[in-house]
Amino acid sequence: MTNERPSLCASCGECCRTRPGLEEPARFLAAPDPAAALAAALGSGDWVLTRIAGVRCPRPATVDERASGRVHEGAENSPCVFLGEAGCRLPFDGRPRMCRELEPWAYGDCQVEWDLADASRAWAPLQGLLDAALR
Ligand code: SF4
Ligand code: SF4
């Protein structure tokens, strides 16, 4: 069961075109060396750290962010680096948690169970891990 609703999203695409979803820690904590996994993701340019309520949280970069090396806070007019012609290029299970949980709804009034506050709470105790990844 996925949250994909092509009939709604094909004519919208707003989230993937302006604000990539945040990832939860589990993807990185499952790696043998979480700091190295985070470092590799950030070093690839495909991932960045954004601040939510002062807490750094990883998410995919936008195309502009990858090109400029600067992180934009909030929405911007640039697509997620993983957005392809036919939608997200990542397999469903490989997408950030916020992308997996965003429930498309009519007129762009979409719902997400795991939101910015959840991401901030999840990453707050792991800021030291991010420091290790950045060293
Ligand atoms: S999830 Fe919502 S905002 Fe994103 S493309 Fe679908 S309808 Fe648009
Ligand atoms: S990772 Fe995929 S689903 Fe998430 S914002 Fe990027 S293109 Fe969209």
pLDDT for 49-67, tens place per residue? 999 999 999 999 999 999 9
Average per-residue pLDDT for the chain: 91
Q: Which residues contact 10 (CB under 8 A, 6 or more apart)?
A: none
Ligand number with the minimum distance to the CA of 3: 1
**What is the spatial distance between Cα 40 and Cα 37, in angstroms, rounded to a whole number?**
5
Q: Which atom of ligand 2 is nearest to the CA of 82?
A: 7
pLDDT at 1: 66
pLDDT at 108: 64
If one compares 14 and 101, the residue with the highest pLDDT of the two is 101
Ligand number with the minimum distance to the CA of 104: 1
Least confident of 15-29, 76-90, 96-110: 96-110
Evaluate whether 55 touches 44 at the Cβ level (below 8 Å).
Answer: no
Tell me if residue 100 falls in helix, strand or coil: helix
Q: What is the dihedral of CA 63, 89, 83, 101, to 10 degrees?
A: -110
